[in-house]
Structure 1
Amino acid sequence: MKAAIIGASGYTGADLIRILDSHPDIEISAITSRKYLGKSVWKAHPSMRNLKLRFTEYTKDVDADVIFLALPHTASMEKVPELLETGVKVIDLSADFRLKDVKIWEKTYGAKHTAPNLIEKAVYGLPELHREEIKKADFVSGTGCEATAGILALAPLQGKADKVIIDVKVGGSAAGSTGNAGTHYPARAGNVRPYAPVKHRHQEEIKQETGFEVSMTAHAVDLVRGILATCHIPNFSEDVSKLYRDFYKDSPFIRITPKDPKFLPNPKYVVGSNYCDIGVVTDEEHKRTVVFSAIDNLVKGASGQAIQCMNLMFGLKEETGLEALPLYPA
């Protein structure tokens, strides 16, 4: 099959290229970029010097069976309608179609949605919750990286509790390749900085997918890749270890960790992989449960998960091309 990547010069584009290049069932037919138009792929991604790929101009008629959109928020909604008209399968990694309520989306992202008629058509691209829908989909919306960590941590507890407080630690690559003052190395190195103290836009996804009333605080930390979500569920102290193992027994990329602090989820143990590690600790004395989840924000939080969805959409084994173990040490 042929795959094209629209907007392939950023971090998510790089991981799409990296993973798809070794996928046994995929040929990368096109990568696009306005900034690097006509240039070899390694001019944007120096690690890819051996690849014979060149950035081309976007066209809706690109020769592909599946198209990945790795574009900034609000850019995808301009292209998705015309791409779907061509009959190609589309996987959008932006936030444009993640939220099912257009009013909540416009409030969260501060923009007018120009393709609200396609919001319901988009299947939320989290295979662990929407596997059967994704198999039948021709349009999938990728999930937010912090949202992925939070949802996977909480999904087995749906209906058992109402409220959750989530503390998220996020690596610098989640801010994208263009960066800002907060991702500048002298500001980030050796530092932990709260950048979304009382509200993060991904919490609307978590609420949508789990039903929890979510309070979320996000911190920028001195990591390149990785997210650690710590979820506090007050007034709930059941031992739910078996519940988690049963819930995810058919999910190849979920690993339930022991309760020993040495083995609880740690971003270092998932870097470069599509795994999500989840650990559950019960605090009976204070009547609370704490759930930890760790992912690589660029793989399970973006490009790897998108390819996991692609595999399902085309009837392939879910793990195809994603079997690589995490890098350690990294």
Structure 2
Amino acid sequence: MIKAAVIGASGYIGGELVRLLAMHPEVEISAVTSRRYNGKKIHKVHPNLRKLNLRFTNNYNFDADVIFLAVPHGTSMKIIDDYIGSAKIIDLSADFRVTLNLYEEYYGEHLKPELISDFVYGLPEIHREEIKKAELIANPGCNATAVILALYPFKGEIGEAIVDLKVSSSAGGRRENVASIHPERSNVVRVYKPSHHRHEAEVKQETKVNAQFTVHSVDLIRGLLATIYFKMETNEKELYKRYFRYLKEPFVRIVKEKEGLQKLPDPKYVIGSNFVDIGFTYDEKSQRVILFSALDNLIKGGAGQAVQNMNIVFGLEETLGLNYLPVYPI
């Protein structure tokens, strides 16, 4: 059994990690940490995890083969020295995802720049072979995962793209603020980040495309939809061929239908799963390619992708513990 510890398990991503790891047939959870909730049963914070015999701890003297860092951005680089060399590390923060130049452009000063190159960017569909040999993995951001997987087949052929993102409330984490309370958050289509979103850095690094994000918060609890636009002379048949690279990927589904409830990707139909749905259309008149990418931000955009990376690192079946179809209706 693989012994797994989750550092910062009180947040939404941390809770999803615990849920997925608890159902994984090859994992034993050795520690779930939280300074704020030290000593409390885990279901006091995550009610859906009732009957799991786990308590939060602030004791970091634990035995683990893999450590998941589910902490806020900027925290991993402060605590990473406590864990390096003791176990495989999968970091779900943004601290080690991009090069130093990109980090400084989008985030600011980095406290551990010498470690950035030691991390492998944990997007299995692109970096599977590097992940197999990795000791340190930087789990991608949710928005970045959706956009990179849609854009990657065009790498080297386009320079810019416009990205419209609709994101759910859980993407903002479990922070307490007025903007997140129900009377303010419900029924919104709020411009959250009109430009220079931090996840642009990951897209730029992985696809070499200057993807310009505009992010809207919408009335969803989980899930996101990216709509991506750029100019190119092509046709729908050629667009479909570009996505052949994903046909054997266990968690990528190409959605392009002429009938039925779901003709193109919709986050409603991926919730609770590790799938990313990708679709496309082409406007011949304007020579405009339009891509769509939908995923559950807490699973393929977070905890599920982290478990997928763990499976790869330990030589397990990549889908182990993740073979859940989406919840429907929701």
TM class by smaller structure: over 0.9
* Contact 1:12/1:303, CA 8 A, preserved across alignment: yes
1:206 pairs with 196, 203, 206, which one?
203
Describe how 1:104-183 pairs up with structure 2 within 5 A: 104-110=102-108, 112-183=109-180
**Partner residue in 2 for 1:220:** 217
When normalised by structure 2's length, the TM-score is 0.96
1:202 positional shift: 0.5
**Partner residue in 2 for 1:267:** 267
When normalised by structure 1's length, the TM-score is 0.96
* Contact 1:161/1:236, CA 8 A, preserved across alignment: no
Matched, 1:3 2:4: yes
1:198 positional shift: 2.0
**Partner residue in 2 for 1:281:** 281
* Contact 1:237/1:283, CA 8 A, preserved across alignment: no
**Partner residue in 2 for 1:233:** 230
1:236 positional shift: 3.8
Per the alignment, in what secondary structure is the counterpart of residue 98 of structure 2? coil
**Partner residue in 1 for 2:319:** 319
Amino acid at match of 2:11: G
> Equivalents in 1 of 2:59, 2:96: separation in Å?
21
**Partner residue in 2 for 1:257:** 255
Matched, 1:41 2:38: no
**Partner residue in 2 for 1:243:** 241
* Contact 2:160/2:230, CA 8 A, preserved across alignment: yes
* Contact 1:259/1:280, CA 8 A, preserved across alignment: no
1:238 positional shift: 3.3
Query: What percent of counterpart residues are identical?
Result: 50
Gaps of 5+ in 2: none
* Contact 1:171/1:226, CA 8 A, preserved across alignment: yes
1:192 pairs with 189, 192, 195, which one?
189
Alignment size in residue pairs: 326
1:58 positional shift: 4.3
> Equivalents in 2 of 1:38, 1:166: separation in Å?
43
1:179 positional shift: 3.8
1:85 positional shift: 2.7
1:184 positional shift: 2.1
Matched, 1:56 2:57: yes
Cα offsets for 1:113-149 (capped at 9, x unmatched): 1111110010001101101000110100011111111
Per the alignment, in what secondary structure is the counterpart of residue 54 of structure 2? coil
* Contact 2:169/2:221, CA 8 A, preserved across alignment: yes
Distance 1:153 1:307, change over 3 A: same
Cα offsets for 1:295-320 (capped at 9, x unmatched): 00000000000000000000001100
Describe how 1:300-319 pairs up with structure 2 within 5 A: 300-319=300-319
Per the alignment, in what secondary structure is the counterpart of residue 294 of structure 2? strand
> Equivalents in 2 of 1:10, 1:270: separation in Å?
21
Amino acid at match of 1:89: K
Describe how 1:77-88 pairs up with structure 2 within 5 A: 77-86=77-86, 88=87
**Partner residue in 2 for 1:94:** 93
Per the alignment, in what secondary structure is the counterpart of residue 120 of structure 1? helix
Gaps of 5+ in 1: none
Cα offsets for 1:238-293 (capped at 9, x unmatched): 33343343211231000001143842000000001000000011111110110000
CA RMSD of aligned residues (A): 1.3
